[in-house]
A and B are shown apart, each in its own frame.
Chain A
Amino acid sequence: MLISRWIEDLEPLPAPLPMCSVTVRADTWRMVAEAVSAANGRLLSLWGSDRRQGASGSLVISVAYAVHEGLLWLDLPLSDRNVGYPDLVPHFPCAERMQRAAADLLGVVAQGASDRRPWLNHGAWPEDFHPLRREVTEQVSTSTREVTDYAFVRVEGDGVHEIPVGPVHAGIIEPGHFRFSVVGEKVLRLEQRLGYTHKGIEKRFTELPPLDAHRLAGRISGDSTVAYSWAYCMALESIAGCQIPERAGWLRALLLERERVANHLGDLGALGNDAAFAFGLAQFSRLREDWLRLSKEAFGHRLLMDSIVPGGVAVDIDPATADRLSHQCDTIEREVQTLRSVYDEHAGLQDRFMSTGRVLPELAAWLGLTGLAGRASGQAADLRCNQPWPPYDQLKVRIALRHEGDVAARVAVRFEEIFESLRLLRAILSRHGDGETRGELQLPATAALGAGWVEGWRGEIFVALEWSGESGGKGIRRCHVHDPSWQNWPVLEHAVIGNIVPDFPLINKSFNLSYSGHDL
């Protein structure tokens, strides 16, 4: 699809990936949604911003699409009297919760949307309170209202009963509520209620100096700290028109692939454990610990937090460390190969994995399933392959793709991605070369937009940044951050239908979605 056929005045953003932004009217907003949907494009994110300044500016609703040519960011200004905008759910079902979140945070509504229940606001905020509106001041933060009940959809019929789970879960995991409607052991319906870890991250961004806010970005979802801080820094560097030194790019990719391997190792162990195969957890958690310990020695942090900074990286490795990192890749590869054959040949384990929690490719495409889980359901999207930005343009990443869409497929994609990441890591370590690791960053004195787009281990991380042009602490006017979990949580509701309740933890783990990255 050629977007330029539909819209004029596309403004390219100076970023390592092809991205452009444009301001549209409601009819174009509708038309583009239809065209992107028809061309199998994806809705990446939807969010609202307050761009009122005195008498000028307005509330704005924005959407980012991933299309063949890259990323398309549309802004639709809303008039003061009418804070509605055309509903995108008919074309992109995944927009529903994002629209409900925008209603909570900014008070803008999708016209004709069928579900108007609050999403992030659980009733503990002050009445008629929209935290991203400019008139909001901090004194309202002392509200003492209690959270309220949520109108779950009731399933009725002979023998149907409900199982409520959470927000405090039975394991060491994040909080959320799951409401199962079951007959016997079979799940008829799962409805999620999320938002429990909402801690005001997007508002917090506007209070931080831009050169420090990468630390907050690195704490949106702790398991994806590298991906988020890279995406944030990419957006900031895009605004500053700063190109990072080549060596900084190599080191960023090194960190991102190490984060991917660490998470996949942890998940593969936990997936074995959820199928009652404790041996898998013991083995993989040992490998993960080895991996994190070397991260600590080489980069100073087990989870690699704060390694990526505006303009480049805050870490460096000498040849001896590079050798150790490379050697560890060989060791881990051998171990994971052994464990893969154990997993593959274990009949009991495969019986639990295969055909469990299935999402067929057609449903995955319609619901917008993305990232790792998408690739297990035939959705061939991986930014490192589709839009390879430096240094991935020199690495020729091979996509891991499965079509079965079950737990077994999500396990297989993880195994394959570990092997591919280990190959990439060795390639990076053999060619990262010499040179600077951090460049100068000069933020402009005029307002500007910037975006960051990175393939984290779970899927695409997107950051949209509005820079005010003011120096000092108030430079960030809006920072929207998007986790692939937004797309994938609703798909989990579909994946469990018809499965038995005891398989839910296994199915849930096979997606391993972020609560914090979603709740913000």
Chain B
Amino acid sequence: MWRILRQIKRQGICSEAPPTCSDDLPAANRQIQQELLAILGQALTIRQVDAGSCNGCELEINALNNPYYNIEGLGIKFVASPRHADMLLVTGPVSKNMELALRRTYEATPEPKLVVAVGDCGCDGGIFGESYASCGRVANVIPVDFTVPGCPPPPLHILRGILTAVRRCRTSPG
């Protein structure tokens, strides 16, 4: 126990400031928290769905949970079920074998049902494209609100994409 406490003390807090979103969302933590509350009425919950990726995007989405990005501190949480989620974060070209599972996940997600496609493959099919085994981009299977290109996009870009999608959710009619 002593070692653990000493290590925590020695390390201190290494969290960094969050990014501005592409719509120039204010960057301070408190403002992001308030913005999320104003738009969603609660913390933002995300269900990540790998629909056929190479796992590179998963590594970077996982990195969002490290202490540098501190996303739970912003009020963003990855949840275990689409039924608990405001947003789906979808990676990969959608494989034919995952198409049905992705549709069902989308159907199980309550409103506002935001969808962010992460990575070049999710945006346009990437290097895998469309084939007997791949449906290509995520938008070919379910409606997509925002895309984050990159192979894989670094964690900050993913976070920026998430915040932008939420912001647009408020500004879009209906």
Q: Which chain A residues have a beta carbon within 8 Å of chain B's beta carbons?
A: 122, 124-126, 129, 131, 136, 138, 140-141, 143, 146-147, 167-168, 170-175, 195-201, 203-204, 215-216, 219-223, 225, 266, 279, 281-283, 285-286, 288-289, 292, 296, 302-303, 305, 338-339, 341-342, 345-346, 514-516, 519
Q: A129-B132, A138-B132, A199-B52 are in contact. List 13 more A-B contacts (CB 8 A).
A: A131-B133, A141-B130, A147-B96, A147-B100, A174-B58, A198-B97, A199-B133, A203-B131, A204-B128, A219-B126, A222-B53, A286-B11, A292-B63
Report which of B7, B63, B101, B134 forms a contact with A167, defined as CB distance below 8 A: B101
Report which of A171, A279, A302, A305 forms a contact with B4, defined as CB distance below 8 A: A279
A305 CA to B4 CA, complexed, in Å: 35
**A198 neighbours in B (Cβ, 8 Å):** 52, 95-97, 133
Report which of B11, B53, B81 forms a contact with A516, defined as CB distance below 8 A: B53
Question: Is A220 a contact partner of B128 (Cβ separation < 8 A)?
Answer: no
For the complex formed, measure the closest distance between the CB of B135 and the CB atoms of chain A, giving whole angstroms.
9
**B14 neighbours in A (Cβ, 8 Å):** 286
A372 CA to B78 CA, complexed, in Å: 30
Question: Is A305 a contact partner of B66 (Cβ separation < 8 A)?
Answer: no
Question: Is A303 a contact partner of B56 (Cβ separation < 8 A)?
Answer: yes
**B151 neighbours in A (Cβ, 8 Å):** 219, 305
Question: Is B49 a contact partner of A223 (Cβ separation < 8 A)?
Answer: no
A-B contact pairs, 7 of them (CB 8 A): A124-B99, A168-B101, A172-B78, A197-B98, A286-B66, A288-B66, A516-B55
Question: Is A216 a contact partner of B127 (Cβ separation < 8 A)?
Answer: yes
For the complex formed, measure the closest distance between the CB of A131 and the CB atoms of chain B, giving whole angstroms.
5
Question: Is A303 a contact partner of B152 (Cβ separation < 8 A)?
Answer: yes
For the complex formed, measure the closest distance between the CB of A104 and the CB atoms of chain B, giving whole angstroms.
11
Q: Which chain B residues have a beta carbon within 8 Å of chain A's beta carbons?
A: 3-4, 7-8, 11, 14, 48-63, 65-68, 78, 80-82, 92-93, 95-101, 105, 126-134, 151-152, 154
A345 CA to B66 CA, complexed, in Å: 24
For the complex formed, measure the closest distance between the CB of A338 and the CB atoms of chain B, giving whole angstroms.
6
Question: Is A223 a contact partner of B59 (Cβ separation < 8 A)?
Answer: yes
Question: Is B55 a contact partner of A221 (Cβ separation < 8 A)?
Answer: yes
Question: Is A171 a contact partner of B80 (Cβ separation < 8 A)?
Answer: yes
Question: Is A338 a contact partner of B56 (Cβ separation < 8 A)?
Answer: no
For the complex formed, measure the closest distance between the CB of B164 and the CB atoms of chain A, giving whole angstroms.
20
Question: Is B128 a contact partner of A199 (Cβ separation < 8 A)?
Answer: yes
A341 CA to B98 CA, complexed, in Å: 42
Given contacts A174-B55, A199-B133, contact A289 B68 (CB under 8 A): yes
